[in-house]
């Protein structure tokens, strides 16, 4: 989930739940539901400050925002939504790295993210075993808008992305490839992005 609020564009809170494919819109008062078929994939909430009491509220406090959004939806006769609040950007540790069987510049990695081990195909030249890295899990929305979904790269499953500083919108230090973290980070902890 991504929340975007800028009172200078008309006091609208934009809520993105996943990538938009074939989009339709349903308007209900100050709420516009953005749908892909019957599934709500986003919301625009107009007069957001007054409807959600945003003043002095950190919109990155997703639990509070989800409660307020669902209260507003129900008040307007719209069914409450389920939001996946699991952290989408987390610290992982590369525990295996093998050459991709069908691509010279790709590697197949296994990355421990604390609760599971993810197979991620990575093309960064600096990826290696024992590195702590930032992982964008399936369902993450990158700062530039890319939606991370399960995929196959040259026939090999990939379930996430190992991120570079550039992909995370962090200051570029000139290192080509993934962002390698130091030992102060713990596997499985959320990594702040945005």
CATH number, position 97: 2.40.50.140
- Higher pLDDT: 114 or 13? It is 114
Residue 100 predicted with pLDDT over 90: yes
Residues 69 and 102 in one domain: no
Last residue of a domain, one of 75, 106, 140: 75
- The pLDDT, as a whole number, for residue 147 is 87
Cα–Cα distance between 160 and 120 in angstroms, integer?
6
185 pLDDT above the threshold of 90: yes
Q: Is the pLDDT of residue 20 over 80?
A: no
* Mean pLDDT, the chain, whole residue set: 89
Residue 174 belongs to a domain: yes
Q: Are 70 and 150 contained in the same domain?
A: no
Tell me, yes or no, whether 100 and 172 share the same domain. yes
Both 114 and 169 in a single domain? yes
Q: Are residues 69 and 99 in the same domain?
A: no
Percent of the chain, pLDDT > 70?
Answer: 91
Q: What is the pLDDT of residue 173?
A: 81
Q: What pLDDT is recorded for position 41? A: 83
**How many structural domains is the chain composed of?**
2
**By the 8 A CB rule, do 185 and 133 touch?**
no
- Reduced to 3 states (helix: H, G, I; strand: E, B; else coil), residue 8 is helix
Flag whether pLDDT at 55 surpasses 70.
Answer: yes
Distance CA 77, CA 147 (A): 30
Whether 81 is covered by a domain: the verdict is no
Task: Answer yes or no: is 49 within a domain.
Answer: yes
Measured from the Cβ of residue 74, the count of other Cβ atoms closer than 10 Å reads 11
Q: Is 112 inside a domain boundary?
A: yes
Do 45 and 103 lie in one domain? The reply is no
Q: How confident is the model at residue 101 (pLDDT cuts 50, 70, 90)?
A: very high
Cα 181 from Cα 175, distance rounded (Å):
13
Shared domain for 45 and 95, answered yes or no, is: no
| pLDDT exceeds cutoff 80 at 17 | no
Residue 191 lies inside a defined structural domain of this protein: no
Place of tokens 């525990």: 95
Structural domain for 64, as ranges: 2-75
Contacts of 13 (CB under 8 A, 6+ apart): 3, 4, 5, 43, 44, 45, 48, 52, 54, 59
Q: Which of 44, 75, 106 is the last residue of a domain?
A: 75
């Amino acid at each position: 989930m991504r929340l975007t609020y800028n009172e200078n564009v008309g006091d609208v809170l934009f809520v993105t739940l996943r990538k938009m494919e074939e989009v339709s819109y349903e308007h209900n008062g100050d709420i516009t539901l953005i749908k892909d078929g019957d599934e709500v994939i986003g919301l625009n909430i107009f007069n957001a400050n007054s409807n959600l009491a945003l003043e002095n509220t950190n919109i990155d406090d997703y639990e509070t925002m989800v409660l307020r959004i669902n209260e507003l939806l129900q008040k307007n006769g719209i069914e409450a939504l389920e939001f996946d609040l699991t952290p989408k950007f987390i610290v992982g540790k590369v525990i295996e790295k093998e050459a991709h069987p069908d691509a010279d510049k790709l590697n197949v990695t296994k990355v421990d993210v604390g609760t599971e081990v993810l197979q991620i195909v990575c093309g960064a030249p600096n990826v290696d075993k024992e590195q702590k890295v930032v992982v964008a899990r399936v369902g993450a929305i990158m700062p530039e808008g890319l939606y991370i979904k399960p995929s196959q790269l040259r026939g090999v499953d990939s379930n996430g992305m190992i991120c570079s500083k550039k992909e995370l919108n962090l200051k570029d230090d000139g290192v080509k490839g993934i962002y390698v973290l130091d030992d102060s980070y713990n596997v499985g902890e959320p990594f702040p992005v945005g």
